[in-house]
A and B are shown apart, each in its own frame.
Chain A
């Protein structure tokens, strides 16, 4: 079963909640799919056993065979290729614009003039934090899209025999859709502020369109502040867990620590409840 943890707004406590949950329900697999800024490892402190290159295919022009007709450059929707026709006969490739869609190779009329070669776009680090399996994707800085790397992580999540806690990137854009697309259940973390509730409503729209079972987790919950609960009640969304607003947790967090023991029993109960709700 895959539980994805998402949030409309960044910095609401996705990773805090994800690692607390993963630690409590281990043996399981924690995947940090926030590949532009993975930080779950800071708290779980895994022993990394191996690092795999994440590559994608990009075009390479073979000058001896290329006629510089420019079909590839005209077809490229991202303008990552520029072909300068004869007499100059030059080709320019802008890797930071390339989405590895392959259309350039598809349209090239000269056999062998444009080949596709792998280019490293990031790494997937695999390890163990005690009885918890750990995986994180790290995208190279400047890459145009996080989606393919997240897709590769989600594939591994599907292949894993046990439970998976998948820490998604923030927001509601394509990488997030990818990170929750295969989830059996989605937990949306929100903080009780007007911004927090607004961005929660955006991600609620998203998971509804994806037809996912989901619930809300409140982070930095304060006595007497019912902003998130009021919204959730209006929308008919269950609020399944609250992490209290606490200076102690903030202090621990700033040292790369979290009170794992404190919530363990409650989180195991939550896990069982989610399994029931996911059917």
Chain B
């Protein structure tokens, strides 16, 4: 299974980036082979529709699951329509820890988008 994870850095010891559309990097991890690649998020400084753009990238990368701290309403709609399983990695989990938790079935699934007020609070904290 190919898993898409938003990350603050380029390796598996980086923290999961709590933002989806404006994440610094994303990591594609193959749970069968253990291989991964890190890509700088080309949309992170975009003006609008960054969530939709990155969600399309998840589809193009052929991922079956996506892990992030939050998913906005538009990104959530796109990813759900594409049948991609969404998981939330809160706190200070590294990408590796989040992937381990996913494989062990311990990562909570996201069944709805992050409410706007929560996302705005997070955005303030990060600044």
Query: Is A82 interfacial (CB 8 A cutoff)?
Result: yes
What is the size, in residues, of chain A's interface with B at 8 Å between Cβ atoms? Answer: 12
Besides A79-B48, A88-B81, A92-B77, 9 more A-B contacts (Cβ < 8 Å) are A78-B48, A80-B49, A82-B52, A82-B81, A84-B59, A84-B81, A92-B81, A94-B49, A94-B74
Does B82 contact A90, Cβ atoms closer than 8 Å? yes
Which of chain B's residues have a CB closer than 8 A to the CB of A221?
none
Interface string of A77-100 (1 = CB under 8 A from B): 011101011001010101001000
Query: Is B89 interfacial (CB 8 A cutoff)?
Result: no
Q: Which residue of A lies closest to B77 (CB)?
A: A92
Interface string of B22-61 (1 = CB under 8 A from A): 0000000000000000000000000011001101100100
Query: Is B115 interfacial (CB 8 A cutoff)?
Result: no
Q: Which residue of A lies closest to B59 (CB)?
A: A84
Chosen A-B contacts, 23 in total, with CB atoms closer than 8 Å, are: A73-B56, A78-B48, A79-B48, A79-B49, A79-B52, A79-B53, A82-B52, A82-B55, A82-B56, A82-B78, A82-B81, A84-B59, A84-B78, A84-B81, A84-B82, A88-B82, A90-B81, A92-B77, A94-B49, A94-B52, A94-B74, A97-B48, A97-B49
Query: Is B108 interfacial (CB 8 A cutoff)?
Result: no
Within 8 A of A (CB), among B68-85: 74, 77-78, 81-83
Closest CB pairs A-B (n = 8): A79-B49, A79-B52, A84-B82, A90-B81, A82-B78, A79-B53, A97-B49, A88-B83
Q: Which residue of A lies closest to B78 (CB)?
A: A82
Which of chain A's residues have a CB closer than 8 A to the CB of B81?
82, 84, 88, 90, 92
Which of chain B's residues have a CB closer than 8 A to the CB of A92?
77-78, 81
Nearest chain B CB to A112 CB, angstrom units: 23
Nearest chain A CB to B66 CB, angstrom units: 14
Which of chain B's residues have a CB closer than 8 A to the CB of A80?
49
Q: In the bound complex, what is the Cα–Cα distance between A54 and B78 (angstroms)?
A: 29
Which of chain B's residues have a CB closer than 8 A to the CB of A84?
59, 78, 81-82
Nearest chain B CB to A84 CB, angstrom units: 5
Nearest chain A CB to B41 CB, angstrom units: 14
Within 8 A of B (CB), among A52-93: 73, 78-80, 82, 84-85, 88, 90, 92
Q: In the bound complex, what is the Cα–Cα distance between A78 and B53 (angstroms)?
A: 10
Which of chain B's residues have a CB closer than 8 A to the CB of A97?
48-49, 52
Within 8 A of B (CB), among A157-214: none
Does B82 contact A78, Cβ atoms closer than 8 Å? no
Interface string of A97-113 (1 = CB under 8 A from B): 10000000000000000
- The 8 Å CB contact of A78, one of B49, B55, B74, B77, is B49
Q: Which residue of A lies closest to B83 (CB)?
A: A88
Which of chain B's residues have a CB closer than 8 A to the CB of A90?
81-82
Q: In the bound complex, what is the Cα–Cα distance between A97 and B49 (angstroms)?
A: 8
Q: In the bound complex, what is the Cα–Cα distance between A84 and B55 (angstroms)?
A: 11
Which of chain A's residues have a CB closer than 8 A to the CB of B56?
73, 79, 82
Q: In the bound complex, what is the Cα–Cα distance between A118 and B71 (angstroms)?
A: 31
Nearest chain B CB to A66 CB, angstrom units: 15
Q: In the bound complex, what is the Cα–Cα distance between A80 and B78 (angstroms)?
A: 11
Q: In the bound complex, what is the Cα–Cα distance between A79 and B50 (angstroms)?
A: 9
Q: Which residue of A lies closest to B43 (CB)?
A: A79
Q: Which residue of B lies closest to A76 (CB)?
A: B49
Which of chain B's residues have a CB closer than 8 A to the CB of A85?
59
Q: Which residue of A lies closest to B47 (CB)?
A: A78
Q: Which residue of B lies closest to A84 (CB)?
A: B82
Q: In the bound complex, what is the Cα–Cα distance between A88 and B82 (angstroms)?
A: 6
Q: In the bound complex, what is the Cα–Cα distance between A145 and B59 (angstroms)?
A: 29
Nearest chain B CB to A228 CB, angstrom units: 34
